[in-house]
């Protein structure tokens, strides 16, 4: 938050709140594992590719749709008013996740949703933009060429999100428990005071120390006996007025005791406390009661600050999370890190009133080790008696920069320093000036003479502390890492796995721990809660829910079973054939795994081909060439050589190669990304990878999952909803409807200049709505708004070029179906509550302009829904022992929907657990409607969303978020392979352990050029643009 401080509503003239942005990170979960750990890491890594309006397999087109004049209609040619092609986009069809692909297994993935940064949807960090009095609900926004594109209404900042159209009624009613605890609204008069500390303090720890000392000294004498709540920066809050409007205090603090026995130095601060504003909580009461549309975020923030005061003093805080080594056992994660358990806490306005959301969490901390031990663990090698390589020195420097250490060579004196870097020279080579005359002394000599300490590891570099102008050198062997420092960088695969194993809890255990945490925090004894009159229930909220029925799925008429009804969120392909089998007449296999013999590869390929045939595909049993072995370091050379050999075998009259099967080592580093890049950018070839251990297993489940993925990559379709084919889906199958999914993925921590990747997918079949084409685009670093939804470019001598991802996908839909969409449903993933207005204003406007650029007065009815998984609401069965109320993992049943009590007081939102848990505690998805011209009922939207979750392409399970949003997420991550081979997970691999490893990035950086422009994505080959190659 920096120094941003809100004003309470009615706090005085001119008071208004700034609106800080909210970042987001990646993460998805098909199934159950719900251990909350707090580390940013790559999400599932298989996404989309380019799309340039071509239709080799009948799904995309180069024909365009645009007006010739203001009253124009559909055309079969031309992209722009001058016939100029627009910029190319990545694209592709439908993506998905198999039941058991990849190096963090699918059953582990849900826990990986809890990624770094404070909770995006929380009122303190992400308040909504303040709204004005409603003068006009809709505002016309002009577009860039009014002769062609007409303006259509989009929301203004005074717009109120749609009201809930009543509660849903479809499904079997039941009771569930939620980790929400009722908070009684205080009957107090809140006052806000500005705090100014001189000299200026940048550390919240120091600021809090100053204010704690002030309260200790002057609570009774000058503060009227009040116990204020302090935000650590510029604001102080009290329950009632202080006896002054402005007062100056002088507070003296002693420096931390460093054990030297010397007298500690004092530092005096001038603190000025000045009355800023006052307010009652009437507006908050009105909002909860539904009589006011806009949430008074500032009032909520005050209550949040009050309830955070005590945990902040007790634990290590990070945003809304609090960690401690005493809240559960510490576990080593390897490479010098350990896990600490903790909890999340946030106060929320809900239909039942104020609610305190409590959830368990865990994150990585540095182990308080001697630096030498940390380095040995980090490098996983013996560092004694040898020089470090340049790569090792860089790795140590990255890991230790900013870490606080204490010295151990001065007896009880434990002075602390923050590491700024690492010397390039060994300790024995380091010298420094000791006087003005330039007399030099070596570090080794200095430590011997000054401290009587003989440095043993003189071949190692020194830690550099202080600034670069006056660096101080500390030998590694005299330093120890200070306890309590959170690790915020990217975790390795093994560290993620260890953290997931530590945090994964069955629902019953998680519920027990949450209740114990609430009891441990003793909110009824919290002096700050008492001071402000806040009372917290100690019982989980009991909530009415409904279990939506699973949809019936259609398969091919030639199979023994022509349709099926999933049971508890899953089914299988036994006796079924894909509803539309793809065609693979020419294919080849390249083996990069040294431990897989040629005979095993041949047998695996033969069994895979048979499985594809049995599943309904037209699949040749033999490859065009015998499987070949290639060295992992020769990916590009091997693939290109074998590809050209295959083309020579096919001859000039045959079509292109249909498929590559790649067999990879289990720990394959960046090999997976390199293979995908070469195939999709250089060769124009779709590929399916699998790990060596899956080749050895070769059971029917693995082969069936691979067949599902291969089918959609070559243009097939696995299943469709029976209700879609029979036109029984309300507001979808009655009129041509296109369903979009959109997501933005951001770089990992530490990648300061890499761009973000935006992805948009859209259905290309109607009424089935199961095939999705996708486009991706690089954009500004950590920019959440999707910049390339609609673009207008003016080119001299060429005219005006209309483009953008929405426009291209609408054109493709028209060509694929022969219809123009009359309805548009937009599922937007990853938007924090504080960005709702901003995203809606920008992206709905782009949708409107894209539609209007295609045909005058073309305005399909739009419904805009935000999909959120980065929240901390968990739902538990009312009775864990009732076998009819839980699935095999102990989680609530798939299809469980909640739209009351813990949901928004007035707006159209709901929680939906659409998937069956596998391991850990399932996390429901949260859907929030920001715009709805289609006038969905609660039942219609909840049922549509749940049913779509059964159409995910790569597995026979319902998934945890609606597939269009899922596909967009996968599309964005596939694009990173083309630019940063090491940054995405090898998501499509059929590995029970999970994803492919991560190598160090050595080339194809996505970093922006010196001028700040984002480097465009490389161009994809035409032959794979319009198929679902990223599955």
Separation between Cα atoms, residue 984 and residue 1003, nearest integer Å: 14
**Within 345-491, where are the H helices?**
371-379, 390-400, 443-451
Cβ neighbours, 10 Å, residue 831: 28
Q: What is the pTM of this model?
A: 0.83
Separation between Cα atoms, residue 418 and residue 464, nearest integer Å: 9
Residues 6 or more apart in contact with residue 403 via CB below 8 angstroms: 366, 418, 419, 481, 485
> By the 8 A CB rule, do 108 and 994 touch?
yes
Cβ neighbours, 10 Å, residue 30: 27
Separation between Cα atoms, residue 287 and residue 128, nearest integer Å: 14
Query: What was the pLDDT predicted at 153?
Result: 56
**Closest to 914 in 3D by CA, of 551, 505, 574, 576:** 551
Q: What pLDDT, in 10s, does the model give residues 423-443?
A: 999 999 999 888 777 788 999
958-985 burial, b for 16+ CB within 10 Å, e for fewer? bbbbbbbbbbbbbbbbbbbbbbbbbbbb
Angle between helical axes of 700-713 and 598-614 (0-180°, round to 10): 70
> By the 8 A CB rule, do 251 and 22 touch?
no
Beta-bridge partners for 865: 827, 929
Q: For the chain, which ranges sit under pLDDT 50?
A: 1-64, 66-151, 981-1006, 1008-1011
Separation between Cα atoms, residue 582 and residue 619, nearest integer Å: 8
CA dihedral 718, 721, 722, 725 (to 10 degrees): -90
Cα dihedral across residues 743, 110, 356, 182: positive or negative: positive
Sheet strands (E) in 335-439:
337-350, 353-366, 404-407, 416-426, 431-433
Query: What was the pLDDT predicted at 96?
Result: 37
Sheet strands (E) in 847-959:
861-868, 875-877, 896-898, 909-913, 925-932
Query: What was the pLDDT predicted at 158?
Result: 62
Separation between Cα atoms, residue 160 and residue 907, nearest integer Å: 9
Query: What was the pLDDT predicted at 86?
Result: 38
Beta-bridge partners for 926: 868, 911
Tokens at 376, concatenated: 């040995």
> By the 8 A CB rule, do 957 and 32 touch?
no
Which run of H or E residues covers position 442?
strand 440-442
Whose tokens are 């921590």? That residue is: 749
Long-range contacts of 700-704 (CB under 8 A, 24+ apart): 700/611, 701/99, 701/100, 702/100, 702/990, 703/607, 703/608, 703/611, 704/572, 704/573, 704/611, 704/615
> By the 8 A CB rule, do 191 and 275 touch?
yes
Question: Phi, psi (5° rounding) for residue 512?
Answer: -60, -45
Q: What pLDDT, in 10s, does the model give residues 399-428?
A: 999 999 999 988 778 889 999 999 999 999
Separation between Cα atoms, residue 70 and residue 57, nearest integer Å: 34
Question: Phi, psi (5° rounding) for residue 494?
Answer: -65, -35
Q: What pLDDT, in 10s, does the model give residues 818-873?
A: 999 999 999 999 899 989 999 999 999 999 999 999 999 999 999 999 999 999 99
Query: What was the pLDDT predicted at 19?
Result: 35
Which run of H or E residues covers position 26?
none
Separation between Cα atoms, residue 1021 and residue 685, nearest integer Å: 8
Tokens at 729, concatenated: 């889906």
What does the H/E/C string look like for 816-842? HHCCCCCEEEEEEECCCHHHHHHHHHH
Query: What was the pLDDT predicted at 674?
Result: 92
Query: What was the pLDDT predicted at 1014?
Result: 83
The three-point CA angle 259-262-266 to 5° equals: 100
CA 625 to chain centre: 42
**Closest to 374 in 3D by CA, of 404, 330, 415, 344:** 404
**Closest to 235 in 3D by CA, of 462, 79, 26, 15:** 15
Separation between Cα atoms, residue 294 and residue 678, nearest integer Å: 51
**Closest to 46 in 3D by CA, of 985, 1023, 1020:** 985
């Amino acid at each position: 938050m920096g120094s941003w401080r809100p004003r309470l509503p009615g706090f005085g003239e001119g008071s208004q709140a700034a609106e800080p942005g909210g970042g987001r990170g990646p993460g998805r979960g098909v199934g159950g594992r719900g251990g909350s750990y707090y580390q940013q890491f790559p999400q599932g890594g298989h996404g989309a590719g380019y799309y340039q309006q071509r239709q080799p397999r009948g799904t995309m087109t180069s024909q365009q749709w645009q007006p010739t004049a203001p009253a124009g209609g559909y055309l079969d040619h031309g992209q722009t008013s001058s016939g100029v092609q627009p910029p190319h986009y990545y694209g592709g069809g439908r993506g998905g996740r198999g039941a058991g692909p990849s190096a963090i297994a699918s059953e582990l993935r849900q826990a990986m949703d809890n990624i770094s940064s404070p909770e995006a949807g929380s009122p303190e960090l992400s308040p909504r933009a303040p709204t004005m009095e409603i003068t006009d609900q809709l505002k016309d926004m002009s577009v860039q060429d009014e002769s062609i594109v007409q303006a259509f209404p989009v929301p203004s900042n005074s717009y109120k999100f749609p009201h809930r159209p009543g509660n849903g009624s479809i499904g079997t009613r039941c009771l569930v428990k939620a980790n929400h605890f009722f908070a009684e609204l205080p009957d107090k008069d809140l006052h806000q005071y500005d705090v100014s500390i001189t000299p200026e303090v940048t550390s919240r720890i120091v600021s809090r120390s100053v204010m704690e000392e002030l309260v200790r000294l002057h609570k009774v004498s000058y503060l009227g006996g009040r116990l204020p709540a302090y935000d650590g920066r510029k604001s102080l809050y009290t329950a009632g007025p202080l006896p002054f409007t402005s007062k100056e205090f002088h507070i003296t603090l002693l420096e931390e005791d460093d054990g030297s026995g010397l007298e500690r130095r004092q530092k005096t601060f001038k603190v000025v406390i000045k009355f800023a504003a006052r307010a009652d909580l009437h507006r908050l009461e009105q909002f909860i009661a539904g009589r006011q549309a806009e949430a008074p975020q500032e009032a909520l923030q005050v209550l949040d600050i009050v309830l955070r005061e005590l945990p902040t003093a007790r634990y290590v805080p990070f945003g809304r999370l609090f960690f401690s080594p005493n809240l559960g056992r510490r576990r080593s994660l390897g490479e010098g890190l350990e896990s600490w358990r903790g909890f999340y806490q946030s106060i929320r306005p809900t239909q039942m009133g104020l609610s305190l959301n409590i959830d368990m969490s865990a994150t990585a901390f540095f182990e308080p080790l001697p630096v030498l031990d940390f380095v040995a663990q980090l490098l996983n090698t013996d560092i004694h008696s040898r020089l470090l390589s340049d790569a090792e020195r860089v790795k140590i420097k990255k890991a230790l920069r900013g870490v606080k250490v204490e010295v151990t060579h001065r007896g009880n004196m434990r002075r602390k320093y923050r590491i700024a870097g690492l010397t390039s020279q060994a300790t024995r080579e380091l010298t420094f000036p000791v006087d003005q005359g330039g007399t030099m002394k070596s570090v080794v000599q200095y430590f011997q003479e000054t401290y009587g300490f003989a440095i043993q590891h003189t071949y190692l570099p020194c830690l550099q502390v202080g600034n670069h102008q006056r660096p101080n050198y500390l030998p590694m062997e005299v330093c120890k890492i200070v306890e309590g420092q959170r690790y915020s960088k990217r975790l390795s695969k093994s560290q993620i796995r260890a953290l997931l194993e530590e945090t994964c809890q069955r629902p019953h255990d998680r519920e027990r721990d949450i209740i114990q945490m609430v009891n441990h925090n003793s909110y009824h004894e919290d002096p700050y809660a008492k001071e402000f009159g806040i009372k917290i229930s100690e019982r989980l909220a009991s909530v009415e829910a409904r279990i939506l029925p699973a949809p019936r799925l259609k398969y091919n008429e030639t199979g023994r079973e022509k349709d099926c009804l999933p049971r508890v969120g899953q089914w299988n392909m036994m006796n079924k054939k894909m509803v539309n089998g793809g065609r693979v007449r020419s294919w080849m296999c390249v083996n990069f795994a040294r431990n897989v013999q040629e005979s095993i590869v041949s047998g695996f390929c033969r069994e895979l081909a048979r499985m594809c045939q049995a599943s309904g595909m037209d699949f040749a049993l033999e490859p065009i060439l015998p499987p070949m072995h290639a060295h992992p370091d020769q990916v590009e050379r091997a693939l290109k050589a074998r590809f050209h050999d295959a083309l020579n075998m096919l001859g000039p009259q045959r079509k292109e190669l249909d498929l590559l099967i790649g067999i990879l080592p289990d720990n394959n580093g960046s090999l997976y990304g390199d293979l995908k890049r070469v195939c999709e950018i250089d060769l124009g070839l779709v590929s399916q990878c699998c790990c060596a251990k899956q080749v050895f297993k070769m059971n029917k489940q693995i082969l069936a999952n691979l067949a599902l993925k291969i089918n959609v990559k070559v243009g097939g379709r696995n299943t469709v909803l029976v209700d879609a084919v029979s036109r029984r889906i309300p507001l979808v199958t009655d009129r041509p409807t296109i369903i979009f999914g959109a997501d933005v993925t951001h770089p990992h921590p530490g990648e300061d200049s890499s761009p973000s990747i935006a992805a948009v997918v859209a259905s290309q079949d109607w009424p089935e709505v199961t095939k999705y084409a996708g486009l991706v685009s690089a954009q500004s670093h950590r920019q959440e708004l999707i910049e390339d939804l609609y673009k207008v470019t003016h080119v001299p001598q060429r005219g005006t070029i209309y483009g953008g991802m929405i426009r291209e996908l609408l054109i493709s839909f028209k060509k694929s179906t022969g219809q123009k969409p009359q309805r548009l449903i937009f599922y937007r993933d990853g938007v924090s509550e504080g960005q709702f207005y901003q995203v809606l204003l920008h992206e709905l406007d782009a949708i409107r302009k894209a539609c209007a650029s295609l045909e005058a007065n073309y305005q399909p009815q739009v419904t805009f829904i935000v999909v959120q998984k980065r929240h901390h609401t968990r739902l538990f069965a009312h009775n864990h022992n009732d076998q009819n109320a839980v699935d095999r993992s102990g989680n609530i049943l798939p299809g469980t929907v909640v739209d009351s009590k813990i949901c928004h007081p007035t707006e159209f939102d709901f929680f939906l657990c659409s998937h069956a848990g596998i391991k850990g505690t399932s996390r429901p998805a949260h859907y929030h409607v920001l715009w709805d011209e289609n006038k969905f009922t609660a039942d219609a939207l909840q049922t549509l969303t749940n049913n779509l979750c059964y159409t995910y392409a790569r597995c026979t399970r319902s998934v945890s978020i609606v597939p269009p949003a899922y596909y967009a997420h996968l599309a964005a991550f596939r694009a990173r392979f083309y630019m940063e081979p090491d940054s995405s997970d090898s998501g499509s691999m059929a590995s029970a352990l999970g994803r492919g490893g991560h190598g160090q990035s050595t080339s194809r950086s996505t970093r922006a050029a010196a001028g700040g422009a984002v480097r465009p994505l490389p161009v994809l080959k035409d032959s794979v643009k319009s198929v679902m190659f990223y599955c």
